């Protein structure tokens, strides 16, 4: 007899051909056909939830519905960190308008994420406060969801800081990111920290020794020969500017020779005449 590996289900049509019958989960695992589902640990949720959330993913909430939900789930009184940090006024004045608008949009997304965490926290707290031991099957996934959302909330703050820093001086990047995020994106007392950083830079420059510049430093280190002003060709003597007395004697000697040539009837040298 041939062993039947197909799934037995009364809802299946009896007219289906044998090769179209679905296989059991064990057989699919042996064949490796369920590898993706096994890796993802995927499980089905209620059909009603799947339908509702699928529609929201496609068309999103209306503005009014979103506003109502945000007002229902404000950050808990003992967890104000779920309020998105505001952009520092000094930084907002330094960046351009497109950068400010982009940060404001990211802040709204982060605010909605904080409300989601608040709703999840309220539900998990109610579950833990019930009499008797809480059902770990419910506590575990709710707690894991809270961790993932809290990590995403923190990532939003980091991304906002990186994007805003692109429009600021690079020299102040360390000062801006040296403190943790609180109610302000770049921390409190930002103006005082920037002034302290500038004063520190000014003092450090004044404490540095001044390097003296000499004429020898101007000569290229790659030049191995004698400087051009001191070099003399071997077949020539150094050129010296004749003194005034020497020039006068030379001019007088030229005139004497021209007079002697006229006296002897010889032609006068044109070069000498030009001189």
Q: Which pTM value belongs to this model?
A: 0.59
pLDDT on residue 1: 42
pLDDT on residue 69: 96
Residue 143 in this model has a pLDDT that exceeds 70: yes
Question: Higher model confidence: residue 256 or residue 157?
Answer: 157
Residue 122 in this model has a pLDDT that exceeds 90: yes
pLDDT on residue 170: 84
Residue the block writes with tokens 């998990």: 124
pLDDT on residue 3: 46
Q: CA 32, CA 26: separation in Å to the nearest integer? A: 10
Contacts of 71 (CB under 8 A, 6+ apart): none
Percent of the chain predicted with pLDDT > 70: 62
Residue 264 in this model has a pLDDT that exceeds 60: no
Question: Higher model confidence: residue 16 or residue 112?
Answer: 112
Mean pLDDT of 253-264: 60
Question: Higher model confidence: residue 266 or residue 90?
Answer: 90
Mean pLDDT of 170-194: 83
pLDDT bucket at 248, cuts 50 / 70 / 90: low
pLDDT on residue 239: 54
Residue 48 in this model has a pLDDT that exceeds 90: yes
19-39 burial string, b = 16+ CB within 10 Å, else e? eeeeeeeeebeeeeebeeeee
Mean pLDDT of 160-186: 87
Q: CA 198, CA 232: separation in Å to the nearest integer? A: 55
Please provide the average confidence, as pLDDT, over all residues in the chain. 77
Q: CA 31, CA 9: separation in Å to the nearest integer? A: 21
Q: CA 104, CA 100: separation in Å to the nearest integer? A: 6
pLDDT bucket at 2, cuts 50 / 70 / 90: very low
* Rounded-to-10 torsion of CA 58, 61, 62, 68: 180
pLDDT on residue 10: 55
Cα 116 off chain centre by:
28
pLDDT on residue 31: 77
């Amino acid at each position: 007899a041939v062993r039947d590996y197909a799934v037995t289900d009364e809802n299946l049509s009896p007219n289906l051909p044998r090769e179209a019958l679905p296989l059991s989960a064990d057989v699919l695992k042996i064949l490796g056909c369920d590898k993706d589902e096994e890796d993802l640990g995927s499980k089905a949720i209620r059909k009603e939830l799947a339908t509702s959330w699928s529609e929201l993913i496609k068309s999103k909430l209306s503005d009014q519905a979103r506003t109502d939900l945000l007002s229902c789930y404000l950050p808990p009184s003992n967890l104000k960190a779920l309020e998105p940090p505001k952009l520092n006024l000094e930084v907002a004045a330094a960046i351009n308008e497109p950068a400010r608008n982009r940060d404001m949009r990211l802040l709204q997304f982060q605010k909605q994420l904080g409300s989601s965490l608040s709703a999840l926290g309220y539900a998990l707290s109610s579950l833990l406060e019930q009499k008797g031991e809480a059902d770990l099957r419910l506590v575990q996934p709710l707690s894991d969801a809270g961790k993932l959302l809290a990590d995403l909330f923190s990532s939003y703050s980091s991304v906002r800081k990186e994007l805003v820093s692109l429009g600021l001086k690079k020299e102040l990047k360390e000062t801006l990111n040296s403190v943790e995020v609180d109610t302000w994106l770049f921390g409190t007392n930002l103006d005082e920290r920037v002034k302290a950083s500038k004063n520190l830079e000014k003092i450090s420059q004044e404490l540095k020794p001044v390097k003296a510049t000499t004429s020898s430093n101007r000569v290229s280190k790659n030049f191995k020969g004698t400087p051009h002003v001191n070099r003399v060709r071997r077949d020539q003597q150094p050129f010296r500017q004749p003194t005034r007395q020497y020039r006068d004697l030379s001019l007088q000697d030229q005139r004497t020779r021209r007079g002697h040539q006229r006296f002897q009837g010889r032609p006068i040298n044109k070069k000498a005449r030009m001189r």
